[in-house]
A and B are shown apart, each in its own frame.
Chain A
């Protein structure tokens, strides 16, 4: 049955396309059947080239205007400011070159479309020209490379001996995250998946004295304006700790400890009140309200209104629930952070229960 249905569709499509080709031959007035472009074709296709670049410009303009709000809000981390600036410079530069080259390409296609008695110019080489368009990219790219490398080194050089930095382990497993704080001694206890047993789900080494005051949580709380150094560990497969609002990402690799570090500069409260976020949340809640109406009509539950929270998501394919491997991040004042952490159980309390 299915087979005949498919056969029928194929036959119908075939007839459609056959009719289409006849129809086109008549409307394009090129039924000479040489199947080589003739003068009429060149005129027409040349014009289409011009229309096409206009379409492309329109599409680019549409995207930048309509999707402007998709760009992430200004970075909530110290190095993120540099990141954003570099990104802006790059995007502007790229779009400038894009508009120019696409313009030339399609405009030339239009301008030099074949005509009956037109002769092409035999023009095979010009060393000066080629020199120019080798040198210009070299200089521009050199600038970008230098700026990029400067920020890269600043971001990636982590000062391990920074006494003031907060040390946090990010622990990834299929399919969730845990944070482990180093506790009062600011020194993480040793850990290995071989120690995993019962409530000790992170495999912390019970015989290590540094481990006893460690604090394991399922939310990531960070004090604002204080450097945090993440030490990342995976239980099973590759994951990636992606914190887009902080311009931060690092893979989490079983068998090794990877690191990333930044200074959060905006509390959750602050970013919620920013113009960008107020507008964003309103848009989203409008969408959710419309969706809820449909859901209610179907007798299902309405969606909850959305309130912004920072989040960390997994960004390396890790299995079936990869799409939902997230952790909430809360950036708060130093005192709020102290209050929160003092309410959490230490590793010692967890294992002795």
Chain B
């Protein structure tokens, strides 16, 4: 099949809006994700201002929140709403759709040598469902009684009863509808990725030659297909409890002077269902970021990724284990303590493949010839925050230790580093690295450096001190801590954290400028700017339908033959330290078995 067949006449609408081309869909995902990210991060600044100066009023609150911040004093319910929507947006809309959606779409066909996704149409549907769910989530901010506010974990009964908090009315309904659509989008997308990877690999692209990016996207899609439906069913049961009088999660409740009829349900059941997705979700967010990092580090170290086989085994092990650790979020939920023991065991097991991955990244740098492009900086930053955040997981995964730090700021610090910041770095690394592939232009590297260093300092400045605030026993989701004089001496630290948050956020403006400016005025990219081995860099800079104008490329080797020499000590290809996957094996070259 040659590309000629794909050239139908295109209109603006089929090219830019209802496009079935995976490269365009990737861009749509990215830009939607970035816009949602702006909202999510802006919210975090608002509630950080509130935490740092709880007794102060801010004019900006009244400007942005209107009647929910009369005279600049934020309403407690609004604080909870901001935290909730911030968490929801960052986890699902930015780091699931924005990260995995963007790069799975862009890279799966390009790196396996396929003309497009298995189903371009379903791919388009997947994006538009995501878009719809984003719109609904944003609209829910304008509901009279406010958006959902029961935390991103929406535990019932709080989320089930409008009497319990104003956000549990229409706001929560919209949250549930939005998430149900989001899940549908994610499932369609994931199935498409799985089928594409399994069936559309070009000649020679065996599974053991797949770049690690594709391995992570593939495994992530599988975890998504296994776990998202469980969240969907939890959401559906919650909708029934809310609207049709069932009692899946409700029992023995007296609220606002009234006994409810519900009997026999259990909120703990909801927690199980939620975290059966919720924990794998951490890896749905993280694995693609790690895949991107593997690719970027190898390319820029001019070395093969160390321990390819161990990396693949780790990815699969993490994926498997991630589905049997959800109970570590529930050690003190009232579930049987014996289960707590089991989940401690499985949780600490998952530390092992994570440790292996970190060590392998570090070894990949060893004796490299590191090219510090902005993508490389973000990848190294990712390894750093992943280690810091992962290590505190050893405390939280230990049921005993979790007793006293559960739901404190220690947890907030932990998960932001290990999943939030790490995955965000992965997203940035991916954007800097593949921007030339997406837009045919280069991002400005100096602005990239500024962006990275301010973010790196700011992110640690926000989240490292936060561990200590948590160790003091300060609970999360507290609108103010001034009712506990014991916490008075935390005030300075909370101010410091907020200042670092403002600094970090301002660095993101540099990125946004760079992104939109370079899209139109950036330097025009060459075909393979990073001297990379993978197939996407063999396609023309100008996008064509079907990706390769002529025949599909043939693959002869894995993706990591950087700085490989033949038996005479010369680079495989004279004068260049990389060997594209399309370059046939030479006679005097050692064959590695992965």
> Chain A interface (Cβ within 8 Å of chain B)?
2, 13-14, 17-18, 20-21, 24-25, 28, 30, 33-37, 41-42, 44-46, 48-49, 52, 55-56, 59-60, 63, 67, 69-72, 82-83, 86-87, 90-91, 93-94, 97-98, 101-102, 104-106, 108-109, 112-115, 118-126, 129-130, 133-134, 137-138, 141, 144-145, 148-149, 151-153, 155-157, 174, 192-194, 196, 203, 235-238, 240, 242, 244, 247-251, 253-256, 258, 280, 283-284, 287-288, 306, 308, 311, 313-324, 326
Pick the contact of B301: A46, A112, A311 (CB < 8 A).
Answer: A112
Residue contact A148 to B401, C-beta cutoff 8 Å: yes
Residue contact A14 to B513, C-beta cutoff 8 Å: yes
Given A134-B352, A137-B355: A313 and B398 within 8 A (CB)?
no
Pick the contact of A36: B456, B471, B493, B530 (CB < 8 A).
Answer: B530
Cβ of A137: which chain B residues have Cβ within 8 Å of it?
Answer: 351-352, 355
CA distance A109 to B253 in the complex (A): 58
Residue contact B341 to A149, C-beta cutoff 8 Å: yes
Residue contact B460 to A106, C-beta cutoff 8 Å: no
B362 → A minimal CB distance (Å): 5
CA distance A37 to B361 in the complex (A): 21
Given A124-B560, A249-B404: A21 and B447 within 8 A (CB)?
yes
Pick the contact of B445: A37, A249, A288 (CB < 8 A).
Answer: A37
Pick the contact of A13: B156, B157, B362, B509 (CB < 8 A).
Answer: B509
Nearest A residue (CB) for B403: A249
Nearest B residue (CB) for A138: B352
A32 → B minimal CB distance (Å): 10
CA distance A178 to B162 in the complex (A): 24
Given A255-B252, A319-B165: A238 and B158 within 8 A (CB)?
yes
In the complex, besides A118-B369, A317-B80, 8 extra interface pairs with C-beta distance below 8 angstroms are A17-B513, A18-B517, A30-B446, A49-B380, A101-B387, A148-B344, A155-B400, A288-B485
Pick the contact of B460: A59, A311, A315 (CB < 8 A).
Answer: A59
CA distance A284 to B487 in the complex (A): 8
Residue contact A280 to B367, C-beta cutoff 8 Å: no
Pick the contact of B76: A25, A194, A320 (CB < 8 A).
Answer: A320
Nearest B residue (CB) for A15: B513
Cβ of B565: which chain A residues have Cβ within 8 Å of it?
Answer: 122
The B347-397 residues at the A interface (CB cut-off 8 A) are 348-349, 351-352, 355-356, 358-363, 365-373, 376-377, 380, 383-384, 387-388, 391-392, 394-395
Residue contact B266 to A35, C-beta cutoff 8 Å: no
Residue contact B355 to A17, C-beta cutoff 8 Å: no
Nearest A residue (CB) for B361: A105
A34, A145, A288 — which one has the most chain B CB atoms within 10 A of its CB?
Answer: A145
Pick the contact of B398: A14, A90, A105 (CB < 8 A).
Answer: A90
Residue contact A112 to B369, C-beta cutoff 8 Å: yes
Residue contact A17 to B509, C-beta cutoff 8 Å: yes
Nearest B residue (CB) for A307: B485
Residue contact B164 to A306, C-beta cutoff 8 Å: no
CA distance A81 to B310 in the complex (A): 40
> Chain B interface (Cβ within 8 Å of chain A)?
63, 75-77, 80, 150-151, 155-158, 161, 164-165, 250-255, 259, 264-268, 301-310, 332-334, 337, 340-341, 344-345, 348-349, 351-352, 355-356, 358-363, 365-373, 376-377, 380, 383-384, 387-388, 391-392, 394-395, 398-401, 403-404, 406-408, 442-447, 449-450, 453, 456-457, 460-461, 464-465, 467-469, 471-473, 475, 477-481, 483-486, 488-491, 493, 509-510, 513-514, 517, 522-523, 529-530, 560, 562-565, 577, 592, 594
Given A152-B337, A313-B475, A317-B477: A98 and B446 within 8 A (CB)?
no
CA distance A153 to B95 in the complex (A): 37
Cβ of A34: which chain B residues have Cβ within 8 Å of it?
Answer: 442, 523
A37 → B minimal CB distance (Å): 5
Cβ of B461: which chain A residues have Cβ within 8 Å of it?
Answer: 59
Nearest B residue (CB) for A235: B254
Cβ of B151: which chain A residues have Cβ within 8 Å of it?
Answer: 317
Cβ of B337: which chain A residues have Cβ within 8 Å of it?
Answer: 152-153, 156-157
Pick the contact of B348: A141, A313, A319 (CB < 8 A).
Answer: A141
CA distance A194 to B254 in the complex (A): 7
Residue contact A284 to B486, C-beta cutoff 8 Å: yes
Residue contact A37 to B472, C-beta cutoff 8 Å: no
CA distance A80 to B531 in the complex (A): 57
A19 → B minimal CB distance (Å): 11
Cβ of B250: which chain A residues have Cβ within 8 Å of it?
Answer: 254-255
Cβ of B76: which chain A residues have Cβ within 8 Å of it?
Answer: 320-323
Pick the contact of B252: A48, A106, A192 (CB < 8 A).
Answer: A192
Cβ of A138: which chain B residues have Cβ within 8 Å of it?
Answer: 352
A13 → B minimal CB distance (Å): 6
Cβ of A320: which chain B residues have Cβ within 8 Å of it?
Answer: 75-77, 80, 165
4 closest A-B pairs (Cβ-Cβ)?
Answer: A255-B251, A45-B372, A156-B337, A244-B473
CA distance A125 to B308 in the complex (A): 8
Residue contact A156 to B251, C-beta cutoff 8 Å: no
Residue contact B473 to A109, C-beta cutoff 8 Å: no
Residue contact A35 to B307, C-beta cutoff 8 Å: no
Residue contact A254 to B301, C-beta cutoff 8 Å: no
Pick the contact of B259: A30, A94, A194, A253 (CB < 8 A).
Answer: A194
Residue contact A236 to B370, C-beta cutoff 8 Å: no
Residue contact A90 to B485, C-beta cutoff 8 Å: no
CA distance A45 to B510 in the complex (A): 18
CA distance A137 to B460 in the complex (A): 25
B412 → A minimal CB distance (Å): 13
Nearest A residue (CB) for B159: A237
CA distance A101 to B385 in the complex (A): 11
Pick the contact of B514: A17, A104, A313 (CB < 8 A).
Answer: A17
**CB-defined A-B contacts under 8 Å, sample of 26:** A13-B509, A13-B513, A20-B450, A36-B373, A37-B376, A55-B460, A93-B394, A108-B362, A113-B372, A114-B302, A123-B363, A129-B363, A137-B352, A137-B355, A138-B352, A148-B398, A148-B399, A148-B401, A152-B337, A236-B164, A236-B254, A244-B473, A251-B332, A253-B334, A287-B491, A306-B488
Given A49-B380, A112-B365, A196-B259: A145 and B406 within 8 A (CB)?
no
